[in-house]
Chains A and B, each alone.
Chain A
């Protein structure tokens, strides 16, 4: 006994819709992947302290895409470029750079904001007022360039 006409019509419709939806799903997935590249935005500030010290704050936020991992900062100064690979104390030139994290632990999730605070001793030698310094903040999903002016 064969399958009646209405059931065959329904079957063919279901199969056709399934196939079309599969193709649409694949296309949407490709578009989703392409538009989901991480985007980190941020800024930096410089503040003079007492006794020739200064504090540099670098603030960044993952505004789009999957989680990214902080890798390092190339911090510019009058001594040259200091490679900061994590929190801790760095001696560079005649200054000491004390680095700490705030609001994140090395990983930045979508929408999360992180802050790196760099306390500099003998900052009057390390930085010159009125000069613009550009630094790079590196994540595994891209680089952020920030500038500050003492």
Chain B
């Protein structure tokens, strides 16, 4: 009695397995190259070194400058908006970043492109007194459109 052969032949099976393996590989590559970066697009900010805080006095008013070097390790641009510091008097002081192109503070923020690093100067002026005089360092928070970054700033004096 002859037995009916319903199995696939070896070469056909090999081709199917090969195509399946290649398709699986392409799906993996597609996930990491396309879907994953877009699904988890985010800026990863690193603070390089130790941020510094400098208070200047021109005989009339105080000006506070903060120097922070940031690197964007993520895969999306990020806008650095401001630096918020708690002063000795308990008040919060908002330091705005200085636009390197104009040399003056900007309320629209500084764009840190993906993969780039930049030293950003934050400034606040027209202060009648020095709110950062009692401690060697101050805790601050950098506000970005991708979240907040805690920093410790050391007073240069």
A-to-B contact residues, CB < 8 Å: 2-5, 8-9, 11-12, 15-16, 19-20, 22-23, 26-27, 33-34, 37-40, 71, 74, 76, 80-81, 132-136, 138-145
For the complex with contacts A140-B69, A143-B68, 16 further pairs of A-B residues with Cβ separation under 8 Å are A9-B14, A12-B22, A16-B21, A22-B29, A23-B29, A23-B32, A26-B33, A33-B73, A76-B156, A81-B56, A133-B157, A134-B136, A134-B157, A138-B119, A142-B50, A143-B51
Q: How many residues of B are counted as interface, with CB atoms below 8 angstroms from the partner's CB atoms?
A: 38
Q: Report if A143-B54 is in contact (Cβ < 8 Å); known contacts: A9-B14, A12-B17, A81-B157.
A: no
Task: Establish whether residues A11 and B18, one from each chain, have CB atoms under 8 Å apart when the complex forms.
Answer: yes
Encoded as 1 (CB less than 8 Å from any A CB) or 0, chain B from 109 to 150 comes to 000000101010000000000000000100000000000000
Report how many A-B pairs have Cβ atoms within 8 Å.
106
- The smallest beta-carbon distance between A138 and chain B, in angstroms, is 7
4 closest pairs, A vs B, by CB?
A142-B49, A142-B48, A19-B25, A136-B52
CB closest residue in chain A, given B52: A136
Verify if B154 is at the interface (C-beta below 8 Å from A).
yes
User: CB within 8 A of A141: which of B10, B49, B136?
Assistant: B49
- The smallest beta-carbon distance between A133 and chain B, in angstroms, is 7
Interface centre among B15, B22, B24, B52 (most CB of A within 10 A): B52
- The smallest beta-carbon distance between A60 and chain B, in angstroms, is 11
Q: Report if A15-B69 is in contact (Cβ < 8 Å); known contacts: A76-B157, A143-B50.
A: no
Residues of B near A136 (CB, < 8 A) are: 50, 52, 54, 67, 154, 156
Residues of B near A5 (CB, < 8 A) are: 10-11, 14
CB closest residue in chain B, given A135: B156
Verify if B84 is at the interface (C-beta below 8 Å from A).
no
